[in-house]
Chains A and B, each alone.
Chain A
Amino acid sequence: MKFVTKSPWILHYDGTSCNGCDIEVLACLTPLYDVERFGIINTGNPKHADILLITGSVNEQNIPVVKQLYDQMAEPKVVVAIGICATSGGIFAECYNVVGGVDKVLPVDVYVPGCAARPESIIDGVVKALDILAQKQKYARKKTGKNRINQETAKI
């Protein structure tokens, strides 16, 4: 299972972001920063993803969408809040339709500050998330028993 922490697949969802952080997340994948060379892929399917990147805060309408995406992801999973809006609401915190940071609905593991967050700091946040992912994996194995996967395949 080492490939999970070496080449995690990423799912990106735009909460109520202004696009600034979204294009910076995409910029991480393109030639100047190029994280794809490590096998990190931006996938559109939540079932394939290990890390959930959320830009922008949450509002009443997208809370069910965010929750659903998180529930569909397989364990172990990590949530990274990108940008100040995802962290606390930022400049829009006082808006009537903004509930607040992503941590109001999901357990956030890493917060990446900035408006807009720079690609360097986004990559740094994802690298930090990898440690947490490894820890979660270890914990999950302890809890369920190391050979659970083998036993299950034996049954089939």
Chain B
Amino acid sequence: MNRFNQTIAQPVGNAVAVNKVIKNTYMLLSATLFFSAVMAMVSMAIAMPPMAYLISVIGAMLLGMFVLPRTANSSAGIGVIFLITGLLGFGLGAILTLYLQLPHGPQTIATALGGTGVIFLGLSGYALTSKRDFSFMGGFVFAGMLVMIVAIIANIFLQMPFLSLAISAGVMLLMSAYILFQTSQMVNGGETNYIFATYSLYMAIFNIFISLLQILGVFGGDD
């Protein structure tokens, strides 16, 4: 939609506002990722059981659906986003504790972490520097999310390993597309709230990391 509002030479005020959203988003994203990592270490230090992951994810999803939209336009939104990302980091710690017990666990975690960083920086950098408008992907990305959610709900009950792997691969590609879409939304003025933008990018990074961890855990280390 923002495609229709674009002009060759953007007004200075608009460009300044866009730059401010981008700067604030990446600063808040860095802070929330750091906070998540600290919470994950706390969770690992106290050896949280795997069910902590599910509880954290449920809590974070409820906060993201019902609390964040009400607070995103005020300073309280920053507190809420730290609460959500801290909760997800804490849950992630329980999963990492499990992976660390595997023979190639530390290597798998390090590779997934590095891989997630490269994917995010690469895609975000591409969308930022190319300044292309990826808003045409909106329908595809959101429809894909609905399909993935249905598949995830089905697999909660079916517990099929192959479906689980297919979901991880699908989520990874979908979240990669979402990074392109969301970054382009910020660059082209479609997203003006840096708290929502941070939340979107954080969720994409989190989902890519979890999916990559599962894919590498299944395929890796069979030598």
Does A pair with B?
no
